[in-house]
């Protein structure tokens, strides 16, 4: 029966997509030491984060200000879980020049657009390390006249050496002080397309600092 064949071929299609995402792993496999946080744990945590964020904006309006490029995957998965009247703006900040693994003084490469005055702004980044990037972007939103500014990161590195570091208002996972790639995060602009958060073979541990 035609409808029956349709129902039975749909799951097979999904399975093939999973296979091809594993092939993207294959390309990188010589460089990857292992998976730190698999995609299903990321998805489950995003559900929780999205609920907390939604509750924090009872007025139902939110402007996200996302830091390119690392937050791209997190951003796209998060906003589809937020049932709010939502605007998205981006800012591009350079923290890690080329293949460095310790962040420098961040500088603004692409400034936010002009629609922040009077908005409730949630700054989004992939990972909080020294905190300088998030502070810089929070400052940009405040200078622009946002009505409120809060911050959200997928990951926060445990930095016992920086006791006064800023905390994000919303954090997905706290991790040890190690260099991670995948799910948008890069090293030398590679590995962003890995579906899981992974550790690099040669950079496990707080390299470069």
Per the CB < 8 A criterion, the answer to whether 144 and 112 are in contact is yes
Q: Which of 127, 141, 154, 197 binds ligand IMP (CB under 6 A)?
A: 127
Catalytic one of 129, 161, 176, 196: 129
Q: Which of 185, 194, 197, 198 binds ligand IMP (CB under 6 A)?
A: 185
CA distances from 92 to 14, 149, 166 (A): 34, 18, 20
CA distances from 17 to 11, 14, 65, 185 (A): 10, 5, 31, 22
CB atoms within 10 A of CB 106: 18
Residue 150, φ and ψ in degrees, nearest 5:
-125, 170
Is 129 designated active site?
A: yes
| Count of residues that bind Mg ion according to CB under 5 A | 1
Nearest partner of 96 among 82, 86, 107, judged by Cα: 107
CB atoms within 10 A of CB 91: 23
Q: Which of 42, 64, 133, 182 binds ligand IMP (CB under 6 A)?
A: 133
**Per-position x/- string for 51-90, each x denoting binding to Mg ion as judged by CB under 5 A, each - no binding:** -------------------x--------------------
Give yes or no for residue 106 binding Mg ion (CB under 5 A). Answer: no
Q: Which of residues 37-76 bind ligand IMP (CB under 6 A)?
A: 67, 70
Q: Which of residues 87-106 bind ligand IMP (CB under 6 A)?
A: 95-96, 103, 106
Cβ 103 to ligand IMP shortest distance, Å: 3
Three-class DSSP category at 205: coil
Binding site residues, ligand IMP, CB under 6 A: 67, 70, 95-96, 103, 106, 125-133, 179-181, 185-186
Binding site residues, Mg ion, CB under 5 A: 70
- Give the active site residues: 129
């Amino acid at each position: 029966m035609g409808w029956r064949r349709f129902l039975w071929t749909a799951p097979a299609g999904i399975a093939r997509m999973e296979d091809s995402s594993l092939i993207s792993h294959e390309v990188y496999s010589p460089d990857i030491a292992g998976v730190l946080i698999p995609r299903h744990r990321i998805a489950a945590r995003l559900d929780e984060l999205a609920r907390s964020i939604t509750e924090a904006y009872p007025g139902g309006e939110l402007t996200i200000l996302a830091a390119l490029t690392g937050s791209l995957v997190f951003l796209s998965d998060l906003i589809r879980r937020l049932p709010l009247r939502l605007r998205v703006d981006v800012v591009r900040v350079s923290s890690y020049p080329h293949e460095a693994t310790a962040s420098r003084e961040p500088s603004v490469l692409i400034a936010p657009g002009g629609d922040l005055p009077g908005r409730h702004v949630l700054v989004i980044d992939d990972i909080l390390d020294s905190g300088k990037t998030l502070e810089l972007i929070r400052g940009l939103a405040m200078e622009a006249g946002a009505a409120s500014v809060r911050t959200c990161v997928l990951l926060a590195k445990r930095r016992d050496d920086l006791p006064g570091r800023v905390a994000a208002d919303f954090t997905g996972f706290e991790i040890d002080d190690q260099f991670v790639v995948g799910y948008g995060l890069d090293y030398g602009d590679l590995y962003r397309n890995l579906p899981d958060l992974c550790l690099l073979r040669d950079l496990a541990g707080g390299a470069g600092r």
